[in-house]
Amino acid sequence: MFQSYLKFRDHCRVCGANFKAADAGDGPAVFIILIVGAIVTPLLIILQFGTPLPDWLALTITMIAAIVLCLALLPPFKSVLFALQWKHKAREATNEDIQ
Ligand SMILES: [Zn+2]
């Protein structure tokens, strides 16, 4: 499905479906901000107040966890949102849709 890390192929390799119109937009990023934020915020609080780690180390661990989680979750979330878009034939609304 992916040509590179987050870039979809132009066509499906199995059935030849056209993926050029595929655009999940900001959808995956919004979900990931909410999910990763809910994970790393308690992590930072626990590391800062529940362990004897220095603040700079707790912050560094949290930042690395946030970056790794975001990079790991982006492709699957983009895939799921694309699949939902494809299934429900979602597309950009045009002027013709409201007439
Ligand atoms: Zn296909």
The alpha carbon of 7 and the centre of ligand 1 are apart by a number of angstroms equal to 16
Q: Report d(CA 60, CA 46) in Å as an integer.
A: 14
In a domain, 47, yes or no: yes
The alpha carbon of 82 and the centre of ligand 1 are apart by a number of angstroms equal to 13
In a domain, 42, yes or no: yes
Name the DSSP letter for residue 16.
-
In a domain, 35, yes or no: yes
In a domain, 14, yes or no: no
Which residues constitute the domain of residue 42?
A: 27-89
Express as a percent the part of the chain with pLDDT over 90: 49
Q: What is the pLDDT of residues 36-67, one digit of tens each?
A: 999 999 999 999 999 999 999 999 999 999 99
Considering its fold, how many domains does the chain have in total? 1
Q: Please give the pLDDT value at position 41.
A: 96
In a domain, 96, yes or no: no
The alpha carbon of 12 and the centre of ligand 1 are apart by a number of angstroms equal to 4
Block residue for tokens 């707790």: 58
In a domain, 15, yes or no: no
Surface-to-core class of residue 13, CB atoms within 10 Å of its CB (0-12 exposed, 13-18 middle, 19+ buried): exposed
The alpha carbon of 77 and the centre of ligand 1 are apart by a number of angstroms equal to 19
In a domain, 99, yes or no: no
The alpha carbon of 27 and the centre of ligand 1 are apart by a number of angstroms equal to 22
**Residues with CB in 5 Å of ion ligand 1:** 12, 14-15, 17
Q: Please give the pLDDT value at position 24.
A: 73
